[in-house]
Structure 1
């Protein structure tokens, strides 16, 4: 049995080595080992203690296996206090990461040394809580309030050099972390240094905490944990250290009982579970070195950029030399952003743009690609033509992928003599920034082709979700329904601007009408025309006011006017005064007497429509699990992370009440408000969506 904390004595220095792979998580055995190790060092007459982690990191945080379970002794706050109360000089030697409880342990030692590549941080806000083992009380004492608030409310990771400037790290040393810790402890002993408990340092100077609290709430779009972190740091300034710790624990426990914490924990786990598919067990992906991208517009350039940053070579096909040159410019601009942010070096930039990227106008140049992704215009005939040509030039075993947002992947695959090699890879724009990737499985897609899609997504740093074939797959199909719900509320009396505000107050990054402006109103216009051409059920409500905007050339942000008017250089818009008269004329033409909507009713209807359609998507197997829907909406559609996703929100809101509302609204529109069979089944059985995640 491996001992979680190994004890070694080197002269008058005791060395405590954490050995709880893979990330030395602070589980019960590690916590107990720290307490026992410090007690043994004191008992045996050591003068200093060095704490470091074996393997690739210092303590990287809490043990996720303990999430949601009752805490077991010794609690981390008690461990941290025990370290701080020791009469011995204590040194943390940090490599890898010291995150969350890991940094709280380090702050409980007297001194901290790190290697240059180390990173520290308190990311608890991302789980809906705050640092609960003294982090909000100790960090402000070493780094000051402003730096501490920045780190704690954002949860960002700070590199060793920056941490040294802030006072979080005392010394940054190249070389072996163990030797660095021992050498630092020896220097301190030789210099006659005393213990330096952070908790006994003077309280930090205060700031305007009410303003900081309001700013944290606004920036988090209603997420409570960053704002509560502000109040905890305020306690560090205004209360004695022991009372500040008590206040921190009070706030910690309040957040632990919140729905937001439950939602964020759910989001944390489903991101890790979404790519675990039984159908891929034991299936090896095909090799990926070189890819082809067809189409160098915004989407194609973003896909190519993401592939280049993932270490792949890219052949980018355009129809004319001028278009190929323009595509190269877009990719260079994207990579220039990565260069500016320090993600790549100047040499890497030169290699990616001059060697790894090869623009072409010849389909034959795609013959060496392991995978080809088309990103051409969203029209079936155009995509079919692309795949006919691909079938002629792509090498045997190459994966052929379509980036369609809505269209039938089976129809596209049928244009080739190798439908087993075809799948959908639905990127979200901008593709080099957005994390979501819908991997669409056609009827004949081979298992190793699906595995290759997931391997590509992982290599690109995407969160990949498996989807089946239908109009819009998971995300856009659900989007079409809840957007239709919003359109119905507009017809019935709400304004687009009230709806957008109600939903951003709920926590969405943007409301549906602002999103439409961002995406381009012409996209929705094209979808509406396609569906009308296919035939709309006569029971479905329809409207034409948005078409009128498009007919006038108003496509949203890219034309400066849509539902909102956009001034040059500004991303946010103001309501377009032309919109409400169009809506009022539509209401009059349809004989609708408008009524008032409360913000709460807007949110309830919008969310009920979203959940009801999501239940259909899961019930039909388009999404295999409710968590696939949650991940899709969280990463591709601006759903507030602290609510966990629409299925988690529904579970917390209560499925019986949602079903009752849907049935009541069916009295006014029986076609739109048809309860999903899966939702009815779960309510009848007294179960939740969570029960289907397995």
Structure 2
């Protein structure tokens, strides 16, 4: 069942589901059966019978807690309450729940129909059986579950945020946005950070950036004031057809870079990609994730991180940890403390 406050979002979701089923199912009867199983539910009554409820309202703590207050009395005893939050720690979300042990995170990535990764997030009070069931559910829907402990931004968004914000810093330095994107693509990313920000939605980027900066402070680049202005103006990226790029039929319109003029440098690439590896090392050190291979797999499947590099940790290992640390120290001397190498590099050698 699919519930919302208004009918329009449900209607839009049913339309998208119908289009998606048309693409992934050959037989018309299978498409019809799938649509029959997906029930629009304005009053949210389906919650009473559900084994699993996934909340996916906007990234506002008070709003999510208000939704839980309405949901929790309806839940049956063994039901799991999952949040699709991309950044809010579960320790903050659980404070108003009568049964906080049933809360966990199932964080899907956009576009959900294509990206394989789901972060399965637990807090220190999550029921172990429910966590096991949630991991099994993710496997059963043919996705790749990544168990993570609750912490601001979990793994993937915490690692991607410095990458996106560093790109904004480069824009502040008057670097051509096409050149910034070209640097990431040259490294092996499927698209650059500016285009990715448009894809994700500049409002979401701003929310996640603000939330993580409130927790991690100056280890992250500051959020530029002009990004807030774009969001206020409603220039949110692909979903409004205008962000950093103009979008037409789901594609960013960009003229090729001029033949003469600035070119991609190694320093530009390092500024974008080394903070990703640095955060992954920090997440291992803090016990947010406990397996380096899972971290690399998560970054490839969840973000499209250059697959032939083998993930941010494998890239650091193959480039040489000492080389990575000294490159970050050089960037720190030039650009400031946000490039400080994490203490976890010592153990990672």
Task: Tell me, yes or no, whether TM beats 0.5.
Answer: yes
Matched, 1:667 2:315: no
Distance 1:405 1:420 in 2: 20
Deviations 1:636-675 (A, max 9, x none): 1111211110111110000001111112222234421221
Residue 332 in 1 paired to residue 18 in 2? yes
Q: Tell me what 2:254 maps to.
A: 574
Selected match of 1:417 from 93, 98, 106: 98
Match of residue 281 from structure 2: 615
Contact residue 499 and residue 511 of structure 1 kept, 8 A? yes
* Matches of 2:219 and 2:87, distance apart in 1: 22
SS at match of 2:289: coil
The structure 2 residue matched to 1:658, chosen from 324, 335, 340, is 324
What do the CA deviations read for 1:70-115 (whole angstroms, capped 9, x no partner)? xxxxxxxxxxxxxxxxxxxxxxxxxxxxxxxxxxxxxxxxxxxxxx
Aligned residue runs from structure 1 range 251-650, under 5 A: 315-339=1-25, 342=26, 345-354=27-36, 356-492=37-173, 494-528=175-209, 541-566=222-247, 568-569=248-249, 571-574=251-254, 598-650=264-316
Query: Structure 1, residues 198-239: CA drift from partner, whole Å, max 9, x if none?
Result: xxxxxxxxxxxxxxxxxxxxxxxxxxxxxxxxxxxxxxxxxx
Q: 8 Å contact 1:563–1:575 — kept in the other structure?
A: no
| C-alpha contact (below 8 Å) 1:363/1:393 kept by paired residues | no
- Offset at residue 429 of structure 1 (A): 1.9
Task: Kindly provide the CA deviation profile for residues 155-202 of structure 1, in whole angstroms up to 9, marking residues without a partner as x.
Answer: xxxxxxxxxxxxxxxxxxxxxxxxxxxxxxxxxxxxxxxxxxxxxxxx
Query: Could you tell me the TM-score, scaled by structure 2's length?
Result: 0.90
- Structure number, greater radius of gyration: 1
In 1, the alpha carbon distance for the partners of 2:66 and 2:250 equals: 39
In structure 2, how many angstroms separate the alpha carbons of the residues matched to 1:609 and 1:546?
21
What is the rounded CA distance, in whole Å, between the counterparts of 1:644 and 1:362 in structure 2? 46
Question: Aligned to 1:430, what secondary structure does the other structure show?
Answer: coil
Deviation at 1:553, TM superposition (A): 2.6
Q: CA deviation at 1:635?
A: 0.6
Residue 555 of structure 1, CA deviation: 1.6
User: Larger % of helix: which?
Assistant: 2
Q: Distance in 1 between matches of 2:255 and 2:90?
A: 38
The CA deviation at 1:543 is 2.4
Residue 341 of structure 2: SS of its match in structure 1? coil
Quickly say closer, same or farther: Cα 1:424–1:534, change in 2 above 3 A. closer
Aligned in 2, Cα 1:671/1:406: closer, same or farther, shift over 3 Å? same
Describe how 1:141-152 pairs up with structure 2 within 5 A. none
Q: How many residues align?
A: 345
Question: Equivalent residues in 2 for 1:72-87 (5 A)?
Answer: none
Could you list the per-position Cα deviations for residues 325-357 of structure 1 after superposition, in whole angstroms to 9, with x for gaps in the alignment?
343223222212223xx2xx2222222212x22
Over 3 Å counting, the alpha-carbon distance change for 1:562 and 1:540 in structure 2 is closer
SS of 1:360 mapped into structure 2 = coil
1:444 deviates by 0.8
CA deviation vs aligned residue, 1:562-599 (integer Å, no higher than 9, x gap): 22123x336132169xxxxxxxxxxxxxxxxxxx7742
Q: Deviations over 1:501-556 (max 9, x none)?
A: 12112211000000011111122233455567889559964522323333333222
Match runs of 1:669-688 below 5 Å: 669-682=335-348, 687=349
Whose relative contact order is higher, 1 or 2, with alpha carbons under 8 Å and at least 6 apart? 2
Unpaired runs of 5+ residues, structure 2, are 257-261
- Kept in 2, the 8 Å contact 1:631–1:645? The answer is yes
Q: Is the 8 A contact 1:493 1:597 kept in 2?
A: no
How far apart are the structure 2 equivalents of 1:617 and 1:530? 17
Q: CA RMSD in A?
A: 2.5
Name structure 1 gaps, 5 residues minimum.
1-314, 577-595, 688-694
**8 Å Cα contact 2:138/2:145 also seen in 1:** yes
Partner Cα distance (1:410, 1:528) in 2: 19
Report the 3-state secondary structure (helix = DSSP H, G, I; strand = E; otherwise coil) of the residue aligned with 2:81: strand
Distance in 2 of aligned mates of 1:563 and 1:317: 33
Q: Cα 1:487–1:569, aligned 2, differ >3 Å: closer, same or farther?
A: closer
Tell me the distance in 2 between the aligned counterparts of 1:671 and 1:502: 22
Using a 3 Å threshold, how does the CA distance of structure 1 residues 538 and 635 change in structure 2: closer, same or farther?
A: closer
Deviations 1:10-51, CA, capped at 9 Å, x for gaps: xxxxxxxxxxxxxxxxxxxxxxxxxxxxxxxxxxxxxxxxxx
Quote the Cα distance in structure 2 between the aligned partners of 1:358 and 1:652: 50
CA deviations 1:275-300 (Å, max 9, x no partner) are xxxxxxxxxxxxxxxxxxxxxxxxxx
